[in-house]
Structure 1
Amino acid sequence: MKRLKLKIQLYCGNEIAMGPGKADLLDAIDREGSISGAARAMDMSYRRAWLLVDAMNRCWREPLVQTSPGSAKGGGARLTALGIAVLHHYRALQERLQGSSECAAYLALAEALLADPKASRKGDRT
Protein backbone atom coordinates (compact mmCIF):
# COMPACT_ATOMS: atom_id res chain seq x y z
CA MET A 1 0.00 0.00 0.00
CA LYS A 2 1.21 3.46 -0.83
CA ARG A 3 1.86 5.84 2.01
CA LEU A 4 0.41 9.31 2.14
CA LYS A 5 2.21 11.83 4.33
CA LEU A 6 -0.18 14.17 6.05
CA LYS A 7 1.32 17.34 7.52
CA ILE A 8 -0.41 19.61 10.03
CA GLN A 9 0.38 23.31 9.88
CA LEU A 10 -1.32 25.80 12.19
CA TYR A 11 -1.42 29.37 10.87
CA CYS A 12 -1.45 32.71 12.63
CA GLY A 13 -2.27 35.09 9.80
CA ASN A 14 0.23 34.23 7.06
CA GLU A 15 2.78 32.87 9.55
CA ILE A 16 3.09 29.16 10.32
CA ALA A 17 2.62 29.12 14.09
CA MET A 18 3.28 25.39 14.40
CA GLY A 19 4.24 22.63 12.02
CA PRO A 20 6.33 19.46 12.08
CA GLY A 21 9.68 21.27 11.93
CA LYS A 22 8.80 23.75 14.66
CA ALA A 23 7.55 20.91 16.87
CA ASP A 24 10.85 19.10 16.30
CA LEU A 25 12.70 22.28 17.23
CA LEU A 26 10.70 22.57 20.47
CA ASP A 27 11.56 18.95 21.28
CA ALA A 28 15.25 19.69 20.63
CA ILE A 29 15.19 22.84 22.79
CA ASP A 30 13.56 20.85 25.60
CA ARG A 31 16.20 18.14 25.27
CA GLU A 32 19.27 20.37 24.73
CA GLY A 33 18.36 23.28 27.01
CA SER A 34 19.32 25.95 24.48
CA ILE A 35 18.44 27.23 21.04
CA SER A 36 22.03 26.87 19.85
CA GLY A 37 22.22 23.28 21.13
CA ALA A 38 18.91 22.47 19.48
CA ALA A 39 20.10 24.04 16.22
CA ARG A 40 23.31 21.95 16.29
CA ALA A 41 21.34 18.78 17.04
CA MET A 42 19.05 19.50 14.08
CA ASP A 43 21.89 20.54 11.75
CA MET A 44 20.43 24.01 11.30
CA SER A 45 21.94 27.44 11.75
CA TYR A 46 21.41 29.25 15.03
CA ARG A 47 19.89 32.15 13.09
CA ARG A 48 17.31 29.88 11.46
CA ALA A 49 16.41 28.29 14.80
CA TRP A 50 16.16 31.71 16.47
CA LEU A 51 13.88 33.01 13.68
CA LEU A 52 11.60 29.96 14.06
CA VAL A 53 11.43 30.46 17.84
CA ASP A 54 10.72 34.16 17.34
CA ALA A 55 7.87 33.33 14.93
CA MET A 56 6.37 30.85 17.38
CA ASN A 57 6.67 33.26 20.28
CA ARG A 58 4.86 35.97 18.29
CA CYS A 59 1.99 33.68 17.23
CA TRP A 60 0.71 32.41 20.56
CA ARG A 61 -0.95 34.28 23.42
CA GLU A 62 2.25 33.73 25.46
CA PRO A 63 5.77 32.74 24.37
CA LEU A 64 6.44 29.02 23.86
CA VAL A 65 10.16 29.40 24.57
CA GLN A 66 11.78 31.45 27.32
CA THR A 67 15.44 32.35 26.97
CA SER A 68 18.00 33.41 29.57
CA PRO A 69 21.14 35.28 28.60
CA GLY A 70 24.47 33.49 28.88
CA SER A 71 26.59 34.16 31.95
CA ALA A 72 28.98 32.36 34.26
CA LYS A 73 26.00 30.21 35.30
CA GLY A 74 25.18 29.62 31.65
CA GLY A 75 22.23 30.79 29.63
CA GLY A 76 19.84 28.70 27.72
CA ALA A 77 16.25 28.24 26.74
CA ARG A 78 13.35 26.27 28.06
CA LEU A 79 9.80 25.61 27.02
CA THR A 80 7.20 27.57 28.92
CA ALA A 81 4.12 25.87 30.34
CA LEU A 82 2.24 26.95 27.22
CA GLY A 83 5.08 25.66 25.03
CA ILE A 84 4.86 22.25 26.68
CA ALA A 85 1.06 22.23 26.30
CA VAL A 86 1.13 23.33 22.63
CA LEU A 87 3.77 20.72 21.80
CA HIS A 88 1.80 18.02 23.63
CA HIS A 89 -1.46 18.90 21.84
CA TYR A 90 0.27 19.17 18.46
CA ARG A 91 1.90 15.73 18.88
CA ALA A 92 -1.46 14.27 20.00
CA LEU A 93 -3.09 15.72 16.88
CA GLN A 94 -0.33 14.23 14.71
CA GLU A 95 -0.84 10.86 16.37
CA ARG A 96 -4.58 11.02 15.83
CA LEU A 97 -4.13 11.93 12.18
CA GLN A 98 -1.71 9.02 11.67
CA GLY A 99 -4.38 6.76 13.13
CA SER A 100 -6.86 7.91 10.51
CA SER A 101 -4.98 6.15 7.71
CA GLU A 102 -7.68 3.50 7.53
CA CYS A 103 -10.51 5.94 6.80
CA ALA A 104 -12.28 5.80 3.42
CA ALA A 105 -10.88 9.13 2.17
CA TYR A 106 -7.28 8.13 2.95
CA LEU A 107 -7.75 4.73 1.30
CA ALA A 108 -9.33 6.30 -1.80
CA LEU A 109 -6.42 8.73 -2.17
CA ALA A 110 -3.86 5.97 -1.64
CA GLU A 111 -5.59 3.84 -4.29
CA ALA A 112 -5.52 6.66 -6.87
CA LEU A 113 -1.90 7.65 -6.15
CA LEU A 114 0.87 6.19 -8.33
CA ALA A 115 3.98 4.73 -6.68
CA ASP A 116 6.17 6.93 -8.91
CA PRO A 117 5.40 9.82 -11.25
CA LYS A 118 4.94 9.17 -14.93
CA ALA A 119 7.75 10.26 -17.24
CA SER A 120 7.55 13.92 -18.13
CA ARG A 121 5.87 14.60 -21.43
CA LYS A 122 7.26 18.09 -21.61
CA GLY A 123 8.63 18.62 -25.07
CA ASP A 124 6.39 15.87 -26.46
CA ARG A 125 4.88 17.38 -29.59
CA THR A 126 2.30 14.66 -30.21
Structure 2
Amino acid sequence: MATTGMRPKKRDNDVAFFTKVLPDTVKAQLNVARLAKVTRLYDDKTKAEVQPLDKKSDGSSRAPLIGVHVGKTKRDVIEIGDVVVVLFMDRSIANFDGSNNEFELSAKRMHDLNDSFIVEVY
Protein backbone atom coordinates (compact mmCIF):
# COMPACT_ATOMS: atom_id res chain seq x y z
CA MET A 1 0.00 0.00 0.00
CA ALA A 2 2.81 2.43 0.80
CA THR A 3 4.34 2.02 -2.66
CA THR A 4 0.97 2.62 -4.29
CA GLY A 5 0.67 5.90 -2.41
CA MET A 6 4.10 6.98 -3.68
CA ARG A 7 3.52 6.16 -7.34
CA PRO A 8 1.20 9.06 -8.07
CA LYS A 9 3.64 11.44 -6.42
CA LYS A 10 6.58 10.17 -8.50
CA ARG A 11 4.42 10.19 -11.60
CA ASP A 12 3.30 13.74 -10.79
CA ASN A 13 6.96 14.75 -10.50
CA ASP A 14 7.73 13.09 -13.84
CA VAL A 15 4.79 14.83 -15.49
CA ALA A 16 5.79 18.16 -13.95
CA PHE A 17 9.29 17.71 -15.36
CA PHE A 18 7.92 17.36 -18.91
CA THR A 19 5.21 20.01 -18.59
CA LYS A 20 7.03 22.69 -16.58
CA VAL A 21 10.76 22.20 -15.96
CA LEU A 22 11.85 21.04 -19.43
CA PRO A 23 9.87 23.68 -21.39
CA ASP A 24 11.11 26.47 -19.09
CA THR A 25 14.69 25.29 -19.51
CA VAL A 26 14.33 25.21 -23.30
CA LYS A 27 12.67 28.65 -23.36
CA ALA A 28 15.45 30.14 -21.23
CA GLN A 29 18.04 28.99 -23.81
CA LEU A 30 16.05 30.06 -26.89
CA ASN A 31 16.72 33.51 -28.38
CA VAL A 32 13.81 34.91 -30.36
CA ALA A 33 13.79 38.72 -30.13
CA ARG A 34 15.17 41.43 -27.89
CA LEU A 35 14.95 45.20 -27.48
CA ALA A 36 18.32 46.93 -27.69
CA LYS A 37 19.93 50.36 -28.04
CA VAL A 38 22.14 51.10 -31.05
CA THR A 39 25.65 51.99 -29.81
CA ARG A 40 27.53 51.95 -33.13
CA LEU A 41 26.70 51.81 -36.83
CA TYR A 42 29.06 50.52 -39.51
CA ASP A 43 29.81 53.12 -42.21
CA ASP A 44 27.36 51.63 -44.74
CA LYS A 45 24.69 51.01 -42.02
CA THR A 46 24.39 47.33 -43.02
CA LYS A 47 25.49 46.27 -39.53
CA ALA A 48 25.38 47.69 -36.03
CA GLU A 49 26.48 47.11 -32.48
CA VAL A 50 23.67 47.13 -29.94
CA GLN A 51 23.29 46.95 -26.17
CA PRO A 52 20.38 44.72 -25.06
CA LEU A 53 18.06 46.67 -22.76
CA ASP A 54 16.84 43.73 -20.67
CA LYS A 55 19.11 42.94 -17.75
CA LYS A 56 20.10 39.47 -16.57
CA SER A 57 18.26 37.95 -13.62
CA ASP A 58 21.09 39.06 -11.32
CA GLY A 59 20.60 42.69 -12.39
CA SER A 60 23.75 42.98 -14.50
CA SER A 61 23.80 44.19 -18.11
CA ARG A 62 23.93 41.72 -20.96
CA ALA A 63 26.91 41.65 -23.31
CA PRO A 64 26.62 43.87 -26.38
CA LEU A 65 25.77 42.27 -29.71
CA ILE A 66 28.29 43.01 -32.45
CA GLY A 67 27.82 42.76 -36.21
CA VAL A 68 24.02 42.76 -36.10
CA HIS A 69 22.59 42.91 -39.62
CA VAL A 70 20.36 45.91 -40.33
CA GLY A 71 17.36 45.27 -42.57
CA LYS A 72 17.40 47.24 -45.83
CA THR A 73 14.28 49.28 -45.02
CA LYS A 74 15.77 50.46 -41.71
CA ARG A 75 19.15 51.68 -42.98
CA ASP A 76 17.82 55.14 -43.90
CA VAL A 77 16.23 55.75 -40.50
CA ILE A 78 18.46 54.04 -37.96
CA GLU A 79 20.69 56.22 -35.76
CA ILE A 80 22.97 55.73 -32.77
CA GLY A 81 20.87 55.78 -29.60
CA ASP A 82 17.75 54.33 -31.26
CA VAL A 83 15.84 51.50 -29.63
CA VAL A 84 15.56 48.58 -32.05
CA VAL A 85 13.96 45.16 -32.27
CA VAL A 86 16.56 42.46 -32.83
CA LEU A 87 15.49 39.04 -34.11
CA PHE A 88 17.58 35.88 -33.94
CA MET A 89 17.44 33.70 -37.04
CA ASP A 90 16.50 30.02 -36.93
CA ARG A 91 19.83 28.96 -38.44
CA SER A 92 23.39 30.24 -38.81
CA ILE A 93 23.71 33.17 -41.21
CA ALA A 94 27.52 33.34 -41.10
CA ASN A 95 27.69 32.56 -44.84
CA PHE A 96 24.89 34.96 -45.81
CA ASP A 97 26.34 37.64 -48.10
CA GLY A 98 23.34 39.94 -48.35
CA SER A 99 22.32 38.64 -51.77
CA ASN A 100 19.35 36.48 -52.71
CA ASN A 101 21.65 33.49 -53.33
CA GLU A 102 21.27 30.33 -51.28
CA PHE A 103 24.09 29.76 -48.81
CA GLU A 104 25.60 26.84 -46.92
CA LEU A 105 25.11 26.58 -43.18
CA SER A 106 28.41 27.02 -41.39
CA ALA A 107 27.20 25.65 -38.06
CA LYS A 108 24.35 23.71 -36.50
CA ARG A 109 23.49 26.55 -34.14
CA MET A 110 19.91 27.73 -33.91
CA HIS A 111 18.45 31.00 -32.53
CA ASP A 112 21.95 32.10 -31.65
CA LEU A 113 22.97 35.62 -30.61
CA ASN A 114 25.48 35.59 -33.50
CA ASP A 115 22.68 35.34 -36.06
CA SER A 116 20.83 38.56 -35.38
CA PHE A 117 18.93 41.07 -37.51
CA ILE A 118 17.50 44.50 -36.70
CA VAL A 119 14.00 44.52 -38.14
CA GLU A 120 12.46 47.59 -36.54
CA VAL A 121 13.45 50.97 -35.18
CA TYR A 122 11.20 52.08 -32.33
Q: What's the TM-score bracket when you normalise by the shorter of the two chains?
A: under 0.3
Taking structure 1 as the reference length, what is the TM-score of the superposition? 0.24
Taking structure 2 as the reference length, what is the TM-score of the superposition? 0.25
Structure with max Cα Rg: 2
| Structure with the higher fraction of residues in helix conformation | 1
| Structure with the higher fraction of residues in strand conformation | 2
